[in-house]
């Protein structure tokens, strides 16, 4: 039964407060509101947070991924090995370059790219490999990197959801975004755990690639606007190649800097909430909590639950019952190959990706979620599955 007096528990909620508002106000009143000194400061802070030599802020993660492939020379006739099981932007950016995404199935336990499928998908036309750290859970990057090394291919990490996540490589824990591949790309969309309203970041240890993306995000302008404004002599810029308007604003960066300072507390709370969910789900039939391999420490950007045949109610039925309790959920991650814009590019045989989309739901998880809110979600899950006690 719907409880109209109870506020809906959302699937996600950005936590923005007076400190972020004050930072945005300061940027607005400074007179410099587009890409400027606050963007530069945010880039430095982000690079330090993930351990990257270079970090370049852009307008969103889609533009970050597009720039990454573009500077690596991906173009018409090329192929990029990636997953269908991701937000549509992952596939779209390959198309933006005039290239073809080659979809690989996922590991059903982690919802991440299957490294064995990566090896099998490589052809003479393959120009790059683009794994996704899905829902903040790092993929088996060591295996992907081994394949890339054997074939001499760059790796672009779609780390849109993985701010703060850690991965163990060579018996050492490191943040996603160090980067371990060639370039890693992040999102600051409101559903991510650090938000600037919208925005993105590329990290790399290659200074030449960093210089290239910095130029291209600003129309390939030969002289940055910060240099022109500070110049003591007249300077005329040039545009030696076709670039893009992919800049982040100083207002967004000011908010992002505050959010980034909150990251340790955000991560700790999300891990705590995920642990509470896992313990509660252990006694419920047909509901399987996320699997975390021993090489990964996820940030729990989302909390996926697989609904098996043992569950007394279907996945869609469970979502409907929770919605009646004023609890928002989402289906499993979409598949690009099942969308109209890609369906004619197949046929694809991706049974694990399709099963994950159709047999998984995402439960509410956000770092301002209260214990009482989470207990209510769990209580409704128990009632919906006939497991109330």
Query: What are the residues whose beta carbons fall under 8 Å from the beta carbon of 153, sequence distance 6 or more?
Result: 122, 126, 127, 128, 129, 147
Place of tokens 């694990």: 352
Of the candidates 13, 127, 172, 192, the residue annotated as catalytic is 192
Q: Please confirm whether the linkage preceding 347 is cis (ω < 30° from 0).
A: yes
Measured between alpha carbons, how far is 224 from 206 in angstroms, rounded to an integer?
20
Query: What are the residues whose beta carbons fall under 8 Å from the beta carbon of 175, sequence distance 6 or more?
Result: 49, 50, 51, 164, 165, 166, 167
Q: Is 13 a catalytic residue?
A: no
Q: How many CB atoms lie within 10 A of CB 173?
A: 11
Q: Please confirm whether the linkage preceding 179 is cis (ω < 30° from 0).
A: yes
Catalytic residues: 192
């Amino acid at each position: 039964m719907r409880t109209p007096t109870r506020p809906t528990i959302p699937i996600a909620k950005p936590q923005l407060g007076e400190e972020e508002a004050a930072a945005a106000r300061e940027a607005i009143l400074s007179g410099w509101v587009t890409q400027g000194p606050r963007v530069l400061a945010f880039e430095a802070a982000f690079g330090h947070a993930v351990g990257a030599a270079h970090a370049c802020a852009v307008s969103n993660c889609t533009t970050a991924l597009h720039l990454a492939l573009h500077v690596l020379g991906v173009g018409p006739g090329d192929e990029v090995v990636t997953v269908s099981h991701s937000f549509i932007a992952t596939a779209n950016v390959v198309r933006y370059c005039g290239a073809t995404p080659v979809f690989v199935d996922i590991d059903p336990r982690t919802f991440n790219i299957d490294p064995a499928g990566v090896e099998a998908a490589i052809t003479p036309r393959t120009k790059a490999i683009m794994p996704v750290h899905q829902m903040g859970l790092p993929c088996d990057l060591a295996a992907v990197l081994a394949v890339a090394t054997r074939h001499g291919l760059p790796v672009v990490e779609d780390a849109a959801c993985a701010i703060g996540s850690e991965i163990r490589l060579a018996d050492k824990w490191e943040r996603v975004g160090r980067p371990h591949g060639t370039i890693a790309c992040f999102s600051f969309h409101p559903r991510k755990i650090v938000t600037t309203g919208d925005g993105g970041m590329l990290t790399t240890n290659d200074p030449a690639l960093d210089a290239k993306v910095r130029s291209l995000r600003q129309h390939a302008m030969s002289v940055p606007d910060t240099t022109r404004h500070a110049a003591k002599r007249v300077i005329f810029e040039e545009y030696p190649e076709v670039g893009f308007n992919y800049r982040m604003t100083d207002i967004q960066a000011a908010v992002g800097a505050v959010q980034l300072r909150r990251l340790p507390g955000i991560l700790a709370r999300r891990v705590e909430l995920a642990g509470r969910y896992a313990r509660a789900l252990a006694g419920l039939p047909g509901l399987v909590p996320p699997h975390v391999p021993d090489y990964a420490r996820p940030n729990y950007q989302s909390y996926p639950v697989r609904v098996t045949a043992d569950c007394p109610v279907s996945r869609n039925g469970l979502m409907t019952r929770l919605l009646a309790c004023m609890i928002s959920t989402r289906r499993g991650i979409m598949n690009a190959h099942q969308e109209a814009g890609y369906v004619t590019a197949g046929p694809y045989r991706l049974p694990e990706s399709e099963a994950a989309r159709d047999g998984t739901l995402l439960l509410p998880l956000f770092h301002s979620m209260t214990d009482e809110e989470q207990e209510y979600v769990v209580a409704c899950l128990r009632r919906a599955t006939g497991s109330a006690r």
